[in-house]
Amino acid sequence: MSNDYTSLRREYLANPLHREDLLDNPVEQFARWMEKATEVSPDDSTSMTLATASKDGMPSARIVLLKHFGAEGFAWYTDYRSRKGQELEENPQAELMFYWYGLERQVRIQGTVEKLPIEQGKKYFNERPVGSRLSAAASCQSAVVDSRETLEQRVENLSNAHPDGDIPHPEEWGGYILKPTRFEFWQGRANRLHDRFTYRLENDNWIIERLQP
């Protein structure tokens, strides 16, 4: 078979993860791991895979950036007309997945998704660099376009129309928040005997269980 990578190997040599290492609240546990990930690789620590599915169950996944989180949930911003936006409209459930290579750690977070208040999306939009605001306002994310030149012309036209950089906030652009019902914390270990713990929400309490690797 061509393009065969079965011979590639890597070993996981991180410290073990024990039940007593975990905080009772998964959001607080995530905050602890995120703080460490940001120390190790600040450019990539907030990158997360967002997995959604259509009403027919066809999944899709992409990398987005976590912008803020807390007890209320985990938030990101995007164009509501994008594929992920359309799928979340049909099926408001998703999973987030973080992988921090330097720490040999993964976190998976499942839950339901809601739109953030429009004023919150507008506030964040106006805090972005001018170039990012121009790109967001000029693009209908995930829609077919005939060429890159068309996109660049739209950006130029928008920039000329707003030379002061005061780009209007598009109504179709805003934030989402995932309200978690399940977490998994994964720590790579030698010989693939990884440490895995889940938190699942049951009657407003978080139940912690170890999973087999």
Catalytic entry in 192, 196, 200, 210: 192
Our CA dihedral for 150, 154, 155, 160, rounded to 10 degrees, sits at: 140
What is the rounded distance in angstroms from the CA atom of residue 52 to the CA atom of residue 67?
A: 18
Q: What whole-number distance in Å separates Cα of residue 201 and Cα of residue 163?
A: 50
Active site residue 154: no
**Position 39, amino acid:** E
- What SS3 class is residue 25? coil
> Bridge-partner residues for 211, per DSSP?
196
Q: Report d(CA 97, CA 95) in Å as an integer.
A: 7
Q: Which residues contact 160 (CB under 8 A, 6 or more apart)?
A: none
CA distances in angstroms from 125 to 1, 47, 85, 120, listed in the order given: 48, 19, 17, 9
Are 52 and 87 contacting, i.e. CB atoms less than 8 angstroms apart?
A: yes
Query: Quick count: other Cβ atoms within 10 Å of Cβ 192?
Result: 9
User: Which of 149, 64, 50, 154 lies closest to 108 in space, CA to CA?
Assistant: 50
Q: Please list the active-site residues.
A: 192
